[in-house]
Amino acid sequence: MTRKTLLVGKTFPRIEAEAKVTGQSRYWLDLPPATNTLYVGLVTSTRPHARILGIDTAPALQHEGVEAVLTAEHISGMLGNMLCDRPILAAHTVRYVGEPVALVLARSPAAAHSAAALVQVRYDDLPVAITADESLLPDAPILHPEFSAYQGAAALGGGDLPNVAARFTMTAGDLEAGWAQADVIIEQQYHTSVRHHAALERHGASARQKADGTLILWASTAAPYALRKEISRALGIDAQRLRVTCARVGGGIGAKSRTSIEALVVAAAMAYPGYTVHLELQQSGEFTSVFVRPALSAYLKMGVTRQGEIVAMQARYAWDVGASADACLETVWSAAYAGTGPYRIPHVAIDSEAVYTNHTPAAPMRGNDMAEVHWAIEQHIDQLAAAIDMDPVAFRLHNIVKGGDRLALGQIMHVTGLDQCLQKVTAAIDWQRRPDDRPSMARGKGLALFWSPTTVAPDHSAEACARFDDDGCTIAIDNEDAGTGLHTFVAQLAATELGLPLDWVQVSPVDTAQGLQYPQRKATAEVCSVGNAVLMAVRRLKVHLVQQVAAAWNESPNHIDIIDGIVISHATERQQALDEMFRAGIATAAGPSFLRPLEARGYATPSPFFASDDPEIASILYFCAGAAAAEVEVNRTTGEVKVLQLAAAVDVGHAINPDLVLSQMKGGALQGLGAALWENLIYKDGVPINPDLYNYHVAMFTDLPAQLFAHIVEVPQEGGPYGARSLAADVPVLVAPAVANAVAQAVGLRLTRMPITAETVWRFLREN
Amino acid sequence: MKYPISFHLNGKIVSLEVSTQETLLDALRQRLGLTGAKEACNEGNCGACTVLLNSAPVYACMVLAVEVDGSAVETVEGMEGEELHPLQKALIDQHGLQCGYCSPGILLTAQALLAHNSRPNKTQIREALAGNLCRCTGYTDIIKAVQVASRARR
Amino acid sequence: MLSYHYVRPRLLPEALAALQREGAEARVLAGGTTLVRQLKQQRVPVSLLVDIKHIPDLHSIRIDSRSGSRIGTTLTLEELAAHAGVQKYYPLLAEACAAVPAWQVRNRATLGGEICVGSRRSAILAALLCYEAAVTLHGAAGEQVRPLSDFIRDVYSDKSLLHGVLLSHILLGPRLRRFGAVFRGLYQYPGQRHPVVGAAVAASYYEGNFQHARVIISGVNPHLQRYTDVEQILMEGTLDEDRLQRAAVELGQALHPVDTTQASAEYQRAMALHLFRQAVQGLRTQLGNSK
Ligand code: FES
Ligand code: FES
């Protein structure tokens, strides 16, 4: 008898790869133009913080081809998932440069563009706070004076200080007792920069209201269901009236799972029924009007005994979330509940807060929330190890959380491959060998561990739908694959379960018309919840299929199986190819018996590992873990830092598609390197001065370190589909602190501010 | 202002009227329906729009359509013949793409590289492709794909 | 909304006539790497584009090490980087052109465009200054040849000098014996278009002494220029550490950096002096005089 081929744990090309490399894939901007289109010229704030005194739309309305100019008078509503704190259009106040203030609707893109320049907004400038530290000063301007009236505000523990939108705290043990046990206590402040997602594809959206009043939105989004929910609520319409559909996504990096400008076109389409309203952001808009990644100001105090035991930790994480906190709430939450890093610490007090500032609202980046926190923790760990004269590897191994340990959260930790990851990366860069310095060049090695909670929203059930017809099997899930490999992952699970060759399975473009009821909001939980939902759907599908065949063949369903696309009876050895069954009917003695198209739905409600007292925000499913190591060379005269080798290892549970996982890791590693050395959206007096790809440096081909290693560690995740835990989108977290630790080893100084530029190193070397 | 232009596009002559504001990228995508060349930054900073102009890689977003009158332009749509081009195949097999937005541009630059240098080493590949950004993959697998493709060509 | 005409002359006089006719809103279009961006941003008033890429004379190159060379301004950076004559006699120019990271840019950007943009950070212009380039201009006042350094300085103080003017050729002097030129730059990352700060030093070497010294610092002062007082010091006698130190001090006094987002004034100054020393050192090695 033929053996069943397992399609999990094996490398396949991405299922949509061929369409992408031939240019056949359609991304949002590639969709054919609609007739009767009104193009949006977006008028955005030029001020970081100001009252709007008046908007003069008359000159723009005079412009040829202009149909209307819409302002907050015509479009109102607050966007948000848990906290509705982002106006669709600025009404009385602007809070960041790039904030949408008005929409010009015109017959051509050129007219929209020129008329937008004619809209005159009169401002009365207000004081500006651009960092969390600034916003927390007693005399800081208050960004949202009406905060307490926002929907969702009450549940978040914020509002206790002006500009604090949310506050989460975690405590364990007795901090004072902890300090008393410690032989060495180190305190330090760390800062990360505001970064930008910089996916190549810009944001864009178009919408139309049909004669029957229904609305359709086409958007460059990976999360149509989440958009539908947020937009319909903000505009006060029934969710069923709005259909959201997406094309291929040209990279999300976190910024395409949340709602921003899409609500504008839906509102405008409602005002102009029958027209397609089309909005394309230009490059500067992409940097200023959608999302950035939040910056963190972290204060850490940790105590350690001479024997190398970390006994106490106090942390204050002040997140600079920009003008809206909603998209960052999970980040801020995770920082509190996972804010110890992967270490066993008995006495803990962590406070994590979302702080409003006058820049573009922040959102998660590349699937992960913990990068900034580890920038602080992992540097601190190195400092502690040095203070008690212990090797950083031994110190970490001694203190890491292992399976069975009780966490500060109170829960018992599950098993991860954290220690294996550490071994992999230290071996990869030959950790034991101290690098040789040259007179003008100092070399150093550094490492970092990470853990990151996979969080799920309270409405965290996932749903999938599987169909079978003569095109093969089609799976519908709620998230587009913005590059993570999610769709290939899902197809591999389905093909394995159904006994089909991989190319019989496709994942359909995501569209709310498919009617899934339980959309996910977050990309990182998908592996577990979406994967399990898909497994259930295809298992049900298979049962239906087998039953039909069994009935036609007059056999027991127990004897029938599908292997490599062939339906086989183990009892009678009778067999027929499945595609033929669909084409020509099930062969029976009495002639063909036609197979009905089949459909089945699957659901998954994973049970959380940890749920906090803030049930509205999230709960933790499990922790992902990994390690990174870097070797750097620092030019003592100029301060230039060059990364010679970089290694990352992540425990993904089970790599359903090993090469795709490695590809994620390598991509993440380079992004992490960018965070460490270059990426920084700089604001001068509240105005971003490098909002384009020429001035904001995204790692290029020539930035790749000479040696880049990626390693998979597999300690199966209980409850994960085939033991899978993650697609390894987490790597950027690791790399930046590993590089910082390597620089510290090379030149004996600690750079606590991201990014580590040549000038900062130079200045430090000169002053010390 | 409108001007008639004609040029070779993937080996065939095309003629159309273009305005002076239109870029080559606009003409390809909006007038000729070839959306393989991607529009990303639209300011000459990323390479997603790369096409070959008289065999040389250029940013199509920074070339005016009127300028290409009388030239030869190649886009990703012209790469495959009966089968996928070895570079396309290698990019798939080596996992040199994630979201794929950068892929068409990278393929054309790499094609031009292999036309100049049939056996490029890693450094040469990096340098030739320095004008193409990829935010997703971290480049390693793209470099590998170009090497594999260079070996696959006779 | 902007609307402009386009002409594609085949001869220089045609191009000049078109520019003259149209007046201030005519723009010369060569590689377009800067102009097309400006057109998109609608920042410049334009009524006519004069595409000079099809004028054969402007795309001609004659390299002659004895009587001097003449390079058409529409040669692309890629063509210059790959030209055997340029590589042989003006290696620093070839190197600087090749160092522009994006192949797509090198294939379009022209020598003339680099000069018109006149970036103070341009390593290509620094190389041209090392070779004492002159530029042939055609404007209302007819044809004129001006030293590149003067042209850069004048255009810096008055951008309108570029209006209605066409740069046709770059002239490079005859090659000096035992002449070398070296550029050292500080980049924030390897593929940066222009170094943040750079130093170019060129000279010929006779009997232990530098002659024909040229010193250029990029990225610090408002426009690219030669530092003739520093050059004098380098040529005064045997180049020992003492003299080099005096040259560096002199250079330091001539630099007036201001803080930018890329580098503080202090860092610019320190790096300029460091790179200057490195360039001098590199030049000595190149000329086989490590003493
Ligand atoms: S779209 Fe042309 S270079 Fe970015
Ligand atoms: S694969 Fe997304 S930009 Fe390259």
Min Cα–Cα distance to chain B from C3, Å: 6
Nearest CA in chain C to B63: C32
Q: How confident is the model at residue C6 (pLDDT cuts 50, 70, 90)?
A: very high
Beta strands A93-94 and A50-56 are antiparallel
Tell whether the model's pLDDT for residue B154 goes beyond 60.
no
pLDDT tens across C134-187, in order?
A: 999 998 889 999 999 999 999 999 988 888 899 999 999 998 999 999 999 999
Mean local confidence (pLDDT), C197-226? 94
Residue with token string 């522009």: C100
Going by C-beta distance under 8 Å and a sequence separation of 6 or more, which residues neighbour residue A755? A193, A675, A676, A677, A678, A679, A680
Distance CA A725, CA A719 (A): 9
Average pLDDT, whole number, for chain A?
A: 94
Is A542 within 8 Å of A561 (Cβ atoms)? no
Q: How far apart are the first and last CA of chain B?
A: 47
Mean local confidence (pLDDT), C125-136? 98
Nearest-Å Rg of the Cα atoms of chain C is 19
User: Element (H or E) spanning A331, and its range?
Assistant: helix A329-337
Mean local confidence (pLDDT), A13-42? 96
Q: How big is chain C, counted in residues? A: 291
Nearest to A131 by CA among A254, A46, A255, A48: A48
The partner residue sitting opposite B133, judged by closest CB among A13, A16, A693, is A693
pLDDT tens across A501-533, in order?
A: 999 999 999 999 998 876 665 655 678 889 999
Q: How confident is the model at residue A286 (pLDDT cuts 50, 70, 90)?
A: very high
Tell whether the model's pLDDT for residue C291 goes beyond 50.
no
Nearest-Å Rg of the Cα atoms of chain B is 15
Distance CA C4, CA C189 (A): 38
Nearest atom within ligand 2 for CA of residue B103: 4
Is A538 within 8 Å of A473 (Cβ atoms)? yes
Tell whether the model's pLDDT for residue C290 goes beyond 50.
no
Domains of chain B: residue spans and CATH: 2-77 (3.10.20.30), 81-153 (1.10.150.120)
Distance CA A612, CA A133 (A): 27
Average pLDDT, whole number, for chain C?
A: 94
Q: Is B61 in the pocket of ligand 1 (CB under 6 A)?
A: yes
Check CB contact under 8 Å for C188 and A690: no
Which residue out of C1, C3, C37, C259 would a mutagenesis test of the A interface target, given it has the greatest number of A Cβ atoms within 10 Å? C1
Distance CA C196, CA C198 (A): 7
Distance CA A304, CA A314 (A): 12
The partner residue sitting opposite C191, judged by closest CB among A677, A682, A703, is A703
Check CB contact under 8 Å for B64 and C6: yes
pLDDT tens across B72-127, in order?
A: 999 999 998 889 999 999 999 999 999 999 999 999 999 999 999 999 999 999 99
- B14 by Cβ neighbours in 10 Å (0-12 / 13-18 / 19+) ranks as middle
Nearest atom within ligand 2 for CA of residue A250: 2
pLDDT tens across A98-124, in order?
A: 999 999 999 999 999 999 999 999 999
- pLDDT given for residue A1 in this prediction: 40
Q: Measured at the alpha carbon of residue B148, what is the angle toward residues B146 and B150, in degrees to the nearest 5?
A: 70
Q: Could you name the CATH architecture of C180-286?
A: 2-Layer Sandwich (3.30)
Is A520 within 8 Å of A479 (Cβ atoms)? yes
pLDDT tens across C260-274, in order?
A: 989 999 999 999 999
Min Cα–Cα distance to chain A from C244, Å: 18
Beta partners for residue A642, in sequence order: A633
- pLDDT given for residue A435 in this prediction: 83
Q: What CATH number has the domain spanning A366-456+615-767?
A: 3.30.365.10
Nearest to A70 by CA among A98, A41, A95: A41
Mean local confidence (pLDDT), B21-28? 97
C180-286 has the same fold as C60-172: no
Beta partners for residue C209, in sequence order: C206
- Per the rule left: phi > 0, alpha: psi between -120 and 50, beta: everything else, B54 is left
Nearest to A738 by CA among A679, A669, A661: A669
- Per the rule left: phi > 0, alpha: psi between -120 and 50, beta: everything else, A650 is beta
Tell whether the model's pLDDT for residue A298 goes beyond 90.
yes
Nearest to B152 by CA among B91, B78, B71, B63: B91
Residue C70 amino acid letter? R
- pLDDT given for residue C1 in this prediction: 42
Nearest to A281 by CA among A31, A43, A20: A43
Q: Which two tokens stand for residue A575?
A: 């067999």
Q: How confident is the model at residue A434 (pLDDT cuts 50, 70, 90)?
A: confident
How far apart are the CA of B27 and the centre of ligand 1, in A?
14
Nearest CA in chain C to A762: C267
The full DSSP string for A349-389 is EEEEEEEE-SSSPB--BTTBS-HHHHHHHHHHHHHHHHHTT
How far apart are the CA of B47 and the centre of ligand 1, in A?
5
- Please state the domain extents for chain A: 2-16+461-604, 33-126+203-280, 366-456+615-767
Q: For domain A2-16+461-604, say whether CATH 3.40.50.300 is its number.
A: no
A366-456+615-767 has the same fold as A2-16+461-604: yes
- pLDDT given for residue A599 in this prediction: 95
Q: Which two tokens stand for residue C210?
A: 């530098």
- pLDDT given for residue A461 in this prediction: 77
Mean local confidence (pLDDT), A368-377? 89
Q: pTM value? A: 0.96
Q: What CATH number has the domain spanning C60-172?
A: 3.30.465.10
Q: Which two tokens stand for residue A536?
A: 């259930």
pLDDT tens across A546-581, in order?
A: 999 999 999 999 999 999 999 999 999 999 999 999
- pLDDT given for residue A459 in this prediction: 66
Tell whether the model's pLDDT for residue C217 goes beyond 80.
yes
Q: For domain C5-51, say whether CATH 3.30.2350.10 is its number.
A: no
Mean local confidence (pLDDT), C35-47? 89
Around C216, how many Cα atoms within 13 Å sit in the side-chain half-sphere?
30
Least trusted range by pLDDT, from A248-257, A621-630, A634-643, C46-55: A248-257
* CB < 8 Å to B47, chain C: 102, 104
- pLDDT given for residue A768 in this prediction: 82
Nearest atom within ligand 1 for CA of residue B41: 4
- pLDDT given for residue C2 in this prediction: 67
Burial C28-64 (b: 16+ CB within 10 A, else e): bbbbbbbbbbebbeeeeebebbbbbbbbeebbebebe
Q: Could you name the CATH architecture of A33-126+203-280?
A: Alpha-Beta Complex (3.90)
- Please state the domain extents for chain C: 5-51, 60-172, 180-286
Going by C-beta distance under 8 Å and a sequence separation of 6 or more, which residues neighbour residue B143? A701, A704, B122, B125, B126, B129
> Is the ipTM of this structure higher than 0.95?
yes
Tell whether the model's pLDDT for residue A675 goes beyond 60.
yes
Nearest-Å Rg of the Cα atoms of chain A is 27
The full DSSP string for A539-590 is HHHHHHHHHHHHHHHTS-GGGEEEETTEEEETTT--EEEHHHHHHH-B--TT
How far apart are the CA of B25 and the centre of ligand 1, in A?
9
Q: How confident is the model at residue C91 (pLDDT cuts 50, 70, 90)?
A: very high
Is A692 at the interface with chain C, CB within 8 A? no
Residue A25 amino acid letter? S
The partner residue sitting opposite C104, judged by closest CB among B19, B21, B47, is B47
User: Element (H or E) spanning A248, and its range?
Assistant: none
Q: Would you tell me which residues 606-645 of chain A have a C-beta closer than 8 angstroms to some C-beta of chain C?
A: 637-638, 640
Tell whether the model's pLDDT for residue A249 goes beyond 60.
yes
* CB < 8 Å to B41, chain A: 200, 283, 692-693
Residue B70 phi, psi (nearest 5): 85, 5
Chains A and C form CB pairs within 8 A to the count of 43
Is C100 at the interface with chain B, CB within 8 A? no
Distance CA B62, CA B42 (A): 8
Q: Measured at the alpha carbon of residue B76, what is the angle toward residues B75 and B80, in degrees to the nearest 5?
A: 120
Min Cα–Cα distance to chain B from A746, Å: 26
The full DSSP string for A678-709 is T----EETTEES--STTTSPPP-GGGS-SEEE
Residue C178 amino acid letter? R
Least trusted range by pLDDT, from A430-444, B113-127, C14-28, C175-189: A430-444
Tell whether the model's pLDDT for residue A311 goes beyond 50.
yes
Least trusted range by pLDDT, from A150-159, A442-451, A660-669, B47-56: A150-159
